[in-house]
Amino acid sequence: MKKSIFLLVVISLFLPLFSFATIGVGVLTGKIVVDQELKPGVIYNLPDLVVSNSGDEVSDYSVTIQHREKQPELRPAKEWFDFEPKKFNLEPGKTQVVHIRLTLPVTGAKPGDYFALVQAYPVKNAVETAGATISVAAAAKLYFTVSNGNIFIASYYRVVSFFETYSPWSFIGGGVILLIILILLLRHFVSFNIGVKVKKK
Protein backbone atom coordinates (compact mmCIF):
# COMPACT_ATOMS: atom_id res chain seq x y z
CA MET A 1 0.00 0.00 0.00
CA LYS A 2 2.80 2.40 0.96
CA LYS A 3 4.63 1.60 -2.29
CA SER A 4 1.59 2.48 -4.42
CA ILE A 5 1.09 5.81 -2.55
CA PHE A 6 4.78 6.62 -3.02
CA LEU A 7 4.49 5.77 -6.73
CA LEU A 8 1.44 8.03 -7.11
CA VAL A 9 3.27 10.94 -5.43
CA VAL A 10 6.30 10.51 -7.72
CA ILE A 11 4.08 10.35 -10.85
CA SER A 12 2.14 13.47 -9.80
CA LEU A 13 5.43 15.38 -9.29
CA PHE A 14 6.77 14.52 -12.73
CA LEU A 15 3.48 14.65 -14.67
CA PRO A 16 3.65 18.42 -15.41
CA LEU A 17 7.02 17.87 -17.08
CA PHE A 18 5.38 15.64 -19.67
CA SER A 19 2.55 17.99 -20.67
CA PHE A 20 2.57 18.74 -24.40
CA ALA A 21 2.12 22.10 -26.11
CA THR A 22 -0.61 22.21 -28.75
CA ILE A 23 -0.44 23.86 -32.16
CA GLY A 24 -3.73 25.49 -33.13
CA VAL A 25 -5.17 27.64 -35.89
CA GLY A 26 -8.42 29.51 -36.31
CA VAL A 27 -10.01 31.65 -39.03
CA LEU A 28 -12.11 34.58 -37.85
CA THR A 29 -13.48 35.23 -41.36
CA GLY A 30 -16.55 33.06 -41.84
CA LYS A 31 -17.39 33.43 -45.52
CA ILE A 32 -16.15 35.55 -48.44
CA VAL A 33 -18.85 36.20 -51.03
CA VAL A 34 -18.10 38.44 -54.03
CA ASP A 35 -21.45 39.88 -55.16
CA GLN A 36 -20.39 41.35 -58.51
CA GLU A 37 -19.55 39.21 -61.54
CA LEU A 38 -15.79 39.12 -62.10
CA LYS A 39 -14.26 39.72 -65.51
CA PRO A 40 -11.48 37.57 -67.02
CA GLY A 41 -8.13 39.36 -67.10
CA VAL A 42 -8.86 41.63 -64.12
CA ILE A 43 -6.91 41.80 -60.83
CA TYR A 44 -9.19 41.92 -57.76
CA ASN A 45 -8.48 42.63 -54.08
CA LEU A 46 -10.77 40.30 -52.11
CA PRO A 47 -11.88 40.80 -48.47
CA ASP A 48 -9.13 40.01 -45.95
CA LEU A 49 -8.71 36.72 -44.10
CA VAL A 50 -8.10 36.96 -40.33
CA VAL A 51 -6.01 34.08 -38.95
CA SER A 52 -5.56 33.37 -35.23
CA ASN A 53 -3.26 31.14 -33.20
CA SER A 54 -5.72 29.13 -31.09
CA GLY A 55 -3.01 26.91 -29.59
CA ASP A 56 -0.55 27.51 -26.78
CA GLU A 57 2.65 27.36 -28.84
CA VAL A 58 4.29 29.99 -31.08
CA SER A 59 4.09 28.85 -34.70
CA ASP A 60 4.63 29.92 -38.31
CA TYR A 61 1.53 29.99 -40.51
CA SER A 62 0.71 30.07 -44.20
CA VAL A 63 -2.41 30.30 -46.40
CA THR A 64 -3.43 28.24 -49.43
CA ILE A 65 -6.43 27.35 -51.60
CA GLN A 66 -8.22 24.00 -51.24
CA HIS A 67 -11.35 22.48 -52.80
CA ARG A 68 -14.09 20.15 -51.62
CA GLU A 69 -14.34 16.70 -53.14
CA LYS A 70 -16.98 16.45 -55.87
CA GLN A 71 -18.03 20.08 -55.53
CA PRO A 72 -20.59 21.22 -58.13
CA GLU A 73 -18.99 24.64 -58.50
CA LEU A 74 -15.97 25.36 -60.69
CA ARG A 75 -12.53 25.18 -59.02
CA PRO A 76 -10.27 28.23 -59.21
CA ALA A 77 -6.57 27.46 -59.72
CA LYS A 78 -4.19 28.10 -56.82
CA GLU A 79 -2.03 30.17 -59.17
CA TRP A 80 -4.79 32.80 -59.42
CA PHE A 81 -4.26 33.80 -55.77
CA ASP A 82 -1.60 35.85 -53.98
CA PHE A 83 -1.50 36.24 -50.21
CA GLU A 84 0.22 39.02 -48.29
CA PRO A 85 1.94 38.05 -46.07
CA LYS A 86 2.57 34.58 -47.52
CA LYS A 87 4.08 33.32 -44.27
CA PHE A 88 3.87 34.80 -40.77
CA ASN A 89 4.58 34.02 -37.13
CA LEU A 90 1.92 34.13 -34.42
CA GLU A 91 2.11 33.90 -30.66
CA PRO A 92 -0.74 32.16 -28.82
CA GLY A 93 -3.96 34.18 -28.91
CA LYS A 94 -2.65 36.63 -31.56
CA THR A 95 -4.19 37.31 -34.99
CA GLN A 96 -2.89 38.25 -38.44
CA VAL A 97 -4.76 39.96 -41.28
CA VAL A 98 -3.94 38.36 -44.65
CA HIS A 99 -4.68 40.30 -47.85
CA ILE A 100 -5.98 38.23 -50.78
CA ARG A 101 -5.41 39.19 -54.41
CA LEU A 102 -7.22 37.29 -57.18
CA THR A 103 -5.79 37.60 -60.71
CA LEU A 104 -8.15 36.09 -63.26
CA PRO A 105 -6.31 34.87 -66.37
CA VAL A 106 -7.03 36.37 -69.79
CA THR A 107 -7.81 32.86 -71.06
CA GLY A 108 -8.72 29.79 -69.03
CA ALA A 109 -11.24 31.30 -66.60
CA LYS A 110 -14.48 29.58 -67.59
CA PRO A 111 -17.65 31.61 -67.01
CA GLY A 112 -19.70 30.32 -64.08
CA ASP A 113 -19.86 29.97 -60.30
CA TYR A 114 -16.63 29.20 -58.42
CA PHE A 115 -16.00 27.87 -54.93
CA ALA A 116 -12.82 27.40 -52.89
CA LEU A 117 -11.65 27.09 -49.30
CA VAL A 118 -9.14 29.74 -48.25
CA GLN A 119 -7.23 27.62 -45.76
CA ALA A 120 -4.83 28.74 -43.04
CA TYR A 121 -2.49 26.18 -41.51
CA PRO A 122 0.54 26.02 -39.23
CA VAL A 123 3.76 25.30 -41.13
CA LYS A 124 4.32 22.56 -38.52
CA ASN A 125 0.81 21.31 -39.33
CA ALA A 126 1.22 17.65 -38.45
CA VAL A 127 0.93 16.47 -34.85
CA GLU A 128 1.99 12.88 -34.27
CA THR A 129 0.09 10.96 -31.60
CA ALA A 130 0.56 7.24 -30.99
CA GLY A 131 1.41 6.45 -34.61
CA ALA A 132 -1.35 8.66 -36.06
CA THR A 133 -0.82 12.01 -37.80
CA ILE A 134 -3.37 14.78 -37.30
CA SER A 135 -3.33 17.76 -39.68
CA VAL A 136 -4.39 21.09 -38.22
CA ALA A 137 -6.10 23.66 -40.48
CA ALA A 138 -9.00 26.13 -40.60
CA ALA A 139 -10.68 27.69 -43.63
CA ALA A 140 -13.11 30.33 -44.86
CA LYS A 141 -15.48 29.61 -47.76
CA LEU A 142 -15.00 31.70 -50.91
CA TYR A 143 -17.71 32.19 -53.55
CA PHE A 144 -17.45 34.22 -56.77
CA THR A 145 -18.81 34.22 -60.33
CA VAL A 146 -16.85 34.83 -63.54
CA SER A 147 -18.72 36.54 -66.39
CA ASN A 148 -18.53 35.73 -70.08
CA GLY A 149 -15.78 37.47 -72.03
CA ASN A 150 -13.53 37.12 -75.04
CA ILE A 151 -9.73 37.38 -75.23
CA PHE A 152 -9.72 40.97 -76.54
CA ILE A 153 -11.95 42.30 -73.76
CA ALA A 154 -10.02 40.26 -71.17
CA SER A 155 -6.68 41.66 -72.46
CA TYR A 156 -8.04 45.20 -72.23
CA TYR A 157 -9.26 44.61 -68.65
CA ARG A 158 -5.89 43.10 -67.67
CA VAL A 159 -3.99 46.22 -68.83
CA VAL A 160 -6.44 48.59 -67.12
CA SER A 161 -6.52 46.66 -63.84
CA PHE A 162 -2.71 46.30 -63.84
CA PHE A 163 -2.29 50.09 -64.05
CA GLU A 164 -4.94 50.66 -61.35
CA THR A 165 -3.56 48.01 -58.98
CA TYR A 166 0.10 49.06 -59.18
CA SER A 167 -0.48 52.83 -59.42
CA PRO A 168 1.51 55.15 -59.34
CA TRP A 169 4.51 52.97 -60.27
CA SER A 170 2.71 51.45 -63.24
CA PHE A 171 2.15 54.93 -64.71
CA ILE A 172 5.74 55.99 -64.04
CA GLY A 173 7.10 52.79 -65.62
CA GLY A 174 4.71 53.12 -68.58
CA GLY A 175 5.78 56.75 -69.08
CA VAL A 176 9.48 55.80 -69.07
CA ILE A 177 8.87 52.99 -71.62
CA LEU A 178 6.91 55.37 -73.90
CA LEU A 179 9.69 57.98 -73.67
CA ILE A 180 12.33 55.39 -74.65
CA ILE A 181 10.19 54.26 -77.62
CA LEU A 182 9.75 57.89 -78.78
CA ILE A 183 13.50 58.54 -78.56
CA LEU A 184 14.26 55.39 -80.56
CA LEU A 185 11.67 56.32 -83.22
CA LEU A 186 13.06 59.84 -83.49
CA ARG A 187 16.60 58.52 -83.91
CA HIS A 188 15.44 56.10 -86.60
CA PHE A 189 13.32 58.46 -88.72
CA VAL A 190 14.86 61.87 -88.05
CA SER A 191 18.53 62.61 -88.60
CA PHE A 192 20.19 65.67 -87.25
CA ASN A 193 23.19 67.20 -89.05
CA ILE A 194 25.02 69.63 -86.86
CA GLY A 195 27.98 71.37 -88.42
CA VAL A 196 30.03 74.52 -88.00
CA LYS A 197 30.65 76.75 -91.00
CA VAL A 198 33.55 79.15 -91.05
CA LYS A 199 32.75 82.34 -92.94
CA LYS A 200 35.51 83.50 -95.27
CA LYS A 201 36.28 87.21 -95.21
Q: Work out the average pLDDT over 9-23.
A: 52
How many whole angstroms separate alpha carbon 123 and alpha carbon 60? 5
Domain ranges (residues) in the chain? 20-189
Residue partners of 88: CB distance under 8 A and separation at least 6: 51, 60, 61, 62, 96, 98
Grouping H, G, I as helix, E, B as strand and the rest as coil, residue 12 is: helix
pLDDT in tens, 123-149: 875 454 444 445 688 999 999 999 987
CATH superfamily, domain 20-189, is Immunoglobulins (2.60.40.10)
pLDDT in tens, 60-70: 999 999 999 99
Radius of gyration of the chain (CA): 29
Kind plus residue range of the DSSP H or E element containing 65? strand 59-66
On whether the pTM is more than 0.75, the answer is no
